[in-house]
Amino acid sequence: MTRMDTQNVETRIVGRSINRLDGPQKVTGSATYAYERAKMRQTLVGVFATATIGKGEIRELNTSAAETMPGVRLVITHRNAPQQGELNPETPGFAVRARPILAGTRIDHFGQPIALVVADTFENARDAAHAVVATYTSMPGSFAYVEGNNVTEPELANAGFPAFTQHGDFDAGYAGAAVKIDQTYETPPHFSQPLEPHATLARWEGEMLHITTSHQTIRYIGVSLKAALDIEPENLTISAPFVGGGFGSKLAVHADMMGAAIAAMMVNEPVKVCMTRQQMFSLLGMRPWQRQRVRLGADTAGRLVAIGHEALIYSNSRDPFLEQTGTVTRSLYSGANRMTRHRATHLDLTNGEPVRGPGELPGLLAVESAMDELAEALNMDPVELRALNDTMMDPESGVPLTGRSLTECLRTGADRFGWSQRPTRPRSRQEGQWLIGMGMASAIRMHFQGATDVEVAITPERRVAVRSDLTDIGTGSYTILAQFAAEVLGVSVSDVDIFLAHSSLPAGGGSGGSWGASNTTAALHDACLSLVQQAGVPAGDNFISQTLAKYPKGLSATGRLPASSQVPDWSEKSRHTYGAHFVELAVHRLTGEIRVRRMLGAFSAGRIINPKTARSQLLGGMIWGLSAALREAAEIDPRYGNIVNGDLAEYLLPVHADVPDVEVVLVDKPDLDANPVGVKGVGELGACGASAAFVNALYNACGVRVRHFPIKLASIFSHFPERH
Amino acid sequence: MKPFIYQRATSLQDAVAMLAARPDARVIAGGTNLLDLMKLQIEVPQHLVDLNNLGLDTIENIPGGGLRLGAMVRNTDLASNETVRRQYGVLTRAIVSGASGQIRNRATTAGNLMQRTRCPYFYGTAMACNKREPGSGCDARNGISANLAILGTSDACIATHPSDMAIAMRALDAEVRVLGAEGEYSIPIADFHRLPGDTPHIDTGLRSGEIITAVELPAPLGGTHVYRKVRERASYAFATVSVALVAQVDGANVAIERLAFGGLAAKPWRVEAAERRGSGTPEEIARDAAAIVLEGARPTERNRYKIDLAQRTLHAALIDAQEHSR
């Protein structure tokens, strides 16, 4: 047996780059996603009609034409929709709130559902949805923050973090600092846009509701549906065996699930509802718009003496989500005088939600840009500035930082990237018409732990069965759990069957917040140790046969990881993952076009279970970072509140031609202070800080600092010295 | 998508007859734009006449040294044609800078000319758009107009034409061959796309019932061919500004033989007066030509940067021409 609760990384299967077990199913199309679970004409299909004003009331809603169109079975509106539980802004977790649909005539945001057309085919339903005619009484809405808008200061940011923290005396520390940076950064709304659209197939069987859906966390669904539909958990089955990406947008219940459940109830037949790509820009939440002010004060040697990070964030007053943007600076660098603050402002838009690295992505974009400005003001190497301010103790709480390896990531990354060859001054390297620059940034991400149960069994069929309600959102959950079980039990990966993502399976925290792997492997480890102990035979090649010899009907064991709130000394340590990003890019000296040349990230996230799947997630995160810096923004027309660029042709995500070779360096070091198996998450770490490395490389290339994102051509060339 | 009648034409005459019989019929070629618009009910044709079985997919030499490009030649085949690559390089470069490999495999010569604007207010069916719904107004002018037109606009419309191919064809003085009730005739590419005026819903000079059969290129010009497309990402985006350029290069000096801009107007934007004005450094020539081409620009606050960017892009293209001819 190889125990994972050691520093040993010389393991047999864990730590090896094995291919995804579900890879062949995915590439051959035999992995069936929620919408594909019922074939054409085996189920009715629902398509939403949506509001075409940003704020106001439905005056008249004419569905008579739609109702008589071919194949239409039912048109659901506020007039006939069943009573649902109300959306309660006091419910602290955004993911478990009731999210009623078609509940009244009030329009709170552009693109809100006003009707659900249920028909025999998608085409007929969509056609009829176009024929639903609404007239409105429009009211003036607030679709973009302007000075003077109401601003509040909630006590808590997302995930339960205090919104305001202070240590020492920030104002005095900053006032007395020898070198100061005071800059403001503005980031736009983003949408998650996973490849698989949100889709749900719902079927009622008496009081029982069966749901097949695309979701990150099974356990949240039951809580939300209980609040919305008053359905008891024992009357609900939920299945989500394949999920084509989530990125935060599949944590909460959305209109597809509510629509399918209500429609299936009303027509008493199975109904499936899938959002169109365009609807994914209005029926889901967004990463909220935010404006951050970062103040850094340092002594002449570069030691930070004051760090202030304040964020003004869009948070919907009816459905609040205050992104935890300022929390990234709390454990990032030393410095005696510190302050972080989150304030909220309401807009009449779809609600805020986690989108790929909530908090860290925009937060580090600002802070790590500011650190580059500070390094320049100090005339210091940006790597050295960060290393100088590294700390082994959490600067806010004073407790040890576990697995702290920021400087190791910085040094490893700098070495592998060739940072010493960088142009030290802006506009000092040119190749043909292109100005070449390099930039870097630190990465940090909070480590979370949630209550997780896992079952492992030896079955009479001579298989190892692992059971958990964890989802695989494309990350490799099936694969890494098989590796873990095989390692601990001494068997082969091919001996292991993984059963995931069903509400009948042992419950965990799902996939989200980068915690699926750490939670579930820790609980699985516990289950496997327990199984070996119960079996009374040694782990190894013969574990299955020897166990069955003693227990012919099979044997099972459960394992558990408690929630962090149940760990008595949780607050005695501060747990994070770390990394360092390096970027080389070229900027055209006339047009300002950016061509990224190289990206390298060095990361420390505890024990790496599968370098191949870990690398995929980390490099994906780095590309999200590129996207946030250089490409991505939801453009809102401030007159109407609609998303103007609401499709994937106009919402600019990076394309292949934007992304050069990406190198991921893994610092594989189990962090046994984080959890018993030393595993932390890699899902979002790659996106943390990455954006700032592009911003800083751009400055190094052409001498232009941009603090309004994403960076557009015009915000570059208009600052060029060449006049035209 | 509204139900529609779909018919495959068996001959050109058959197609013309079908279109004549059904004034609301539309021709479908590659379908890369029309089907998207039908799903959104921006286009709601009752009848589709499919030209995919008619041939029209060859590239042939014509008397006088020019080239006839069949209406149904796929963009990929056009761009990779040996003669086009060698003698009309600006056209190859323009085509491969557009869309994606998959779309170019399907899209056709004629369909590319007929594609509709990507103005987001044309796509956003809840918005006012005179091109989509004549008389409804233009929400783009005071809206998110960063990528919209600065030249040839009207109060009714500031949409751009999205084609890259057409910009190169304009620089090459192509002619669009059209078959109508009275037989085949030519429309110069300069007159094919229309400025919006107060009828922005009419994109082209093609009349109801007419079919594009080919595009003809005059004899090769020689010179150095450049297509320089600038946009916010490296691929799969419509031009913010693009330049189709045929230049004469003489050491450090360049001269403009032909020049057309994309991304600035509802049609390829060419001002012949900016061409053949002598040689100079790329910077001098770009400044001189841009001043002529951009005269009368009427930008919005959000797209004013295009004036500067157009000159910068031309400057970059002239430098590219120097580098290509080395």
Together in a domain, A484 and A626:
no
Domain span at residue A544?
A: 23-31+450-566
Shortest CA distance from B284: residue in chain A: A724
- The three-state secondary structure class of A660 is coil
**Nearest Cα to Cα of residue B242 among B186, B188, B183, B171:** B171
* Chain A closest-CA separation from residue B177 CA (Å): 31
Q: Is the CB of A713 less than 8 angstroms away from the CB of B315?
A: no
Interface mutation vs chain A, best among B132, B232, B283, most A CBs within 10 Å: B232
Same domain for A644 and A654, yes or no, is yes
Contact by Cβ (8 Å): B52, B106: no
Task: Tell whether A357 is covered by a domain.
Answer: no
A interface toward B at CB cutoff 8 Å? 52-53, 70, 110, 123, 126-127, 130, 278, 432-433, 588, 590-593, 595, 630-631, 635, 637, 639-640, 642, 644-647, 649-650, 652, 654-658, 712-714, 717-718, 724
Mean pLDDT by 10 residues, chain A (724 residues): 92 97 95 88 94 98 98 98 97 95 98 98 96 98 97 97 98 98 98 97 97 97 97 97 96 98 98 97 98 98 98 98 98 98 98 97 98 98 98 97 98 98 97 98 98 98 98 97 98 98 97 96 98 98 98 98 96 98 98 98 98 98 98 98 96 96 94 97 97 98 98 97 70
Amino acid at A3: R
Of B143, B240, B316, the CB nearest to A644: B143
* Model pLDDT, residue A40: 67
Whether the Cβ atoms of residue B189 and residue B169 lie closer than 8 Å to each other: yes
Identify all chain A residues contacting B309, using CB atoms and an 8 Å cutoff: 591, 713-714, 717
Give A658's contacts in chain B (Cβ within 8 Å): 233-235
Segments in A248-333 forming alpha helices (H): 255-267
What is A490-551 written as a DSSP string?
T--GGGEEEE-SBTTSPP---S-TT-HHHHHHHHHHHHHHHHHHHHTS-SSTTHHHHHHHH-
Whether residues A639 and B142 touch (CB distance < 8 A) is answered with: yes
Tell whether A434 and A583 lie within a shared domain. yes
H/E segment holding residue A365: helix A360-378
Helices (H), A607-647: 611-630
Smallest Cβ–Cβ distance between A717 and the set B3, B121, B309 belongs to B309
| pLDDT > 90 in chain B, percent | 96
**C-alpha distance from residue B234 to each of A631, A646, B99, B228 (Å):** 10, 20, 11, 12
Residues in B whose CB is inside 8 Å of some CB of A read 1-3, 39-41, 118, 120-121, 123-124, 126-127, 139, 142-144, 146, 230, 232-237, 240, 286-287, 290, 305, 308-309, 311-313, 315-316, 319, 323
Q: How many CA atoms lie within 13 A of B245 on its CB side?
A: 33
Of B127, B230, B311, the CB nearest to A713: B230
On whether residue A583 sits in a domain, the answer given is: yes
Set of chain B residues whose Cβ sits within 8 Å of the Cβ of A117? none
The CB density around residue A86, as the number of other CB atoms within 10 Å, is: 14
Flag whether A619 is in a domain: yes
Structure tokens at A219: 């356990």
Which residues on neighbouring strands pair with residue B40, listed in sequence order? none
User: Of the residues A544, A566, A588, which one is the last residue of a structural domain?
Assistant: A566
Q: Give chain B positions within 8 Å (CB) of A642.
A: 124, 126-127
A554: which residues sit within 8 A by CB, 6+ positions away? Answer: A457, A458, A459, A460, A548
* Candidate from A592, A642, A647 with C-beta closest to B126: A642
Length of chain B: 326
Quick one: pLDDT at residue A723?
A: 63
d(CA B89, nearest CA chain A) in Å:
22
Contact A655 B234 (CB under 8 A): yes
Long-range Cβ pairs for the range A563-571 (8 Å, 24+) = A563/A449, A563/A450, A563/A451, A564/A448, A564/A449, A564/A450, A566/A451, A567/A449, A570/A449, A571/A397, A571/A399
Q: What pLDDT is stored for residue B181 in this prediction?
A: 82
Cβ-defined contact of B316 to A713 (cutoff 8 Å): no
> Both A580 and A701 in a single domain?
yes
| Domain final residue, candidates A510, A542, A566 | A566
> Which CATH number do you get for residue A540?
3.30.365.10
Average pLDDT score, chain B:
97
What predicted TM-score, i.e. pTM, was given to this entire model? Answer: 0.97
Question: A611 and A487 in one domain?
Answer: no
> Are A559 and A576 members of one domain?
no
Q: A441: Cβ–Cβ under 8 A, 6 or more apart, which residues? A: A364, A368, A369, A371, A372, A580, A581, A689, A690, A691, A692, A693, A696
Q: Chain A: nearest CA to B305, how far in angstroms?
A: 6
Q: Say whether both A536 and A586 belong to one domain.
A: no
> If phi over 0 gives left and psi between -120 and 50 gives alpha, with beta otherwise, what is residue A108?
alpha
- What distances in angstroms separate CA A80 from CA A74, A83, A116, A203, B298, one per listed residue? 10, 9, 11, 19, 51
Q: Do B233 and A593 touch (CB under 8 A)?
A: no
Nearest chain B residue to A638 by CA: give it: B143
Task: Please tell me whether residues A679 and A583 are part of one structural domain.
Answer: yes
pLDDT tens, residue by residue, B64-105:
999 999 999 999 999 999 999 999 999 999 999 999 999 999
Q: How many contacts does A have with B, using Cβ atoms within 8 A?
A: 99
Q: How far apart are CA A51 and CA A576, in angstroms?
A: 42
Residues A576 and A707 reside in one and the same domain: yes
By Cβ distance, the residue of B41, B124, B305 closest to A644 is B124
Q: Are A201 and A272 in contact (CB under 8 A)?
A: yes
CB atoms within 10 A of CB B13: 10
Q: Which of A178, A107, A652, A517 shows the shortest CA–CA distance to A379?
A: A178
| Mean pLDDT of each 10-residue bin along chain B, 326 residues long | 92 93 92 95 95 96 97 98 98 97 98 98 97 98 98 98 98 97 94 98 96 98 98 96 98 97 98 97 98 98 98 98 91
Q: Residue A228 belongs to what H/E stretch?
A: helix A218-229
- In this complex, do A714 and B305 lie within 8 Å of one another by their Cβ atoms? yes
What residue of A is the nearest CA neighbor of B42?
A: A130
Q: Does the beta-carbon distance from B124 to A642 stay under 8 Å?
A: yes
- B139 CA: distance to closest CA in chain A (Å): 10
Q: Are residues A604 and A695 in the same domain?
A: yes
The token pair at A12 is 């047999």
Contact between A464 and A495 under an 8 Å Cβ cutoff? The reply is: yes
Which of these, B183, B193, B162, B158, lies nearest to B270 by C-alpha position? B193
Domain presence at residue A127: no
Which residues of chain A neighbour B286 with C-beta distances below 8 Å? 724
Contact at CB, A658 and B316, closer than 8 angstroms = no
Q: Best residue in B32, B309, B313 to probe A by mutation, most A CBs within 10 Å?
A: B309
Q: Minimal CA–CA distance to A416: which of A125, A662, A689?
A: A662
Q: Which of B3, B139, B236 sits opposite A655 (nearest CB)?
A: B236
Q: What is the ipTM of this complex?
A: 0.97
Is A271 within the bounds of a domain? no
pLDDT given for residue A507 in this prediction: 97
Nearest CA in chain A to B100: A655
Number of domains in chain A: 2
- Determine whether the interchain pair A645/B144 forms a contact, defined as Cβ–Cβ distance below 8 Å: yes
Distances from the Cα of A470 to the Cα of A26, A514, A608, B183, B232, angstroms: 18, 12, 19, 67, 39
Show the domains of chain B with their CATH numbers: 5-52 (3.30.43.10), 224-324 (3.30.390.50)
Helix axes of A218-229 and A255-267: crossing angle, nearest 10 degrees: 50
Burial of A90 (0-12, 13-18, 19+ CB in 10 A): exposed
Nearest-Cα residue of chain A relative to residue B147? A650
CA separation for the pair B275, A11 (Å, rounded): 71
Query: Tokens representing B222?
Result: 């020689």
| Residue of A422, A301, A314, A439 lying closest to A368 (CA atoms) | A439
Q: Do A590 and B142 touch (CB under 8 A)?
A: no
State whether A591 and A703 are in the same domain.
yes
- pLDDT digit string, tens, across residues B245-275: 999 999 999 999 999 999 999 999 999 999 9
**What is the maximal distance between C-alpha atoms in chain B?**
61
Name residue A178's amino acid: A
Residues of A carrying an active site annotation: 684
Cβ of A724 and B313 within 8 Å? no
Contacts of B41 in chain A (CB under 8 A): 130
Cα–Cα distance, A510 to A488 (Å, whole number): 22
Count the neighbouring beta carbons within 10 Å of the beta carbon of residue B296: 9
Pick from A566, A592, A612: which residue ends a domain?
Answer: A566
Report the residue of B44, B236, B307, B314 to disrupt the A interface, i.e. the one with the largest count of A CBs within 10 Å. B236
Asked, for residue A644, whether it belongs to a domain, the answer is yes
Please list every residue in chain B whose beta carbon sits closer than 8 Å to the beta carbon of residue A650.
118, 120
Chain A residues whose CB is inside 8 A of the B4 CB are none
Edge-to-edge order in the sheet of strand A271-274: A72-76, A113-119, A44-50, A271-274, A199-205, A208-213, A236-239
Same structural domain, A644 and A665: yes
| A717:B120 CB<8 A | no
Nearest CA in chain A to B307: A724
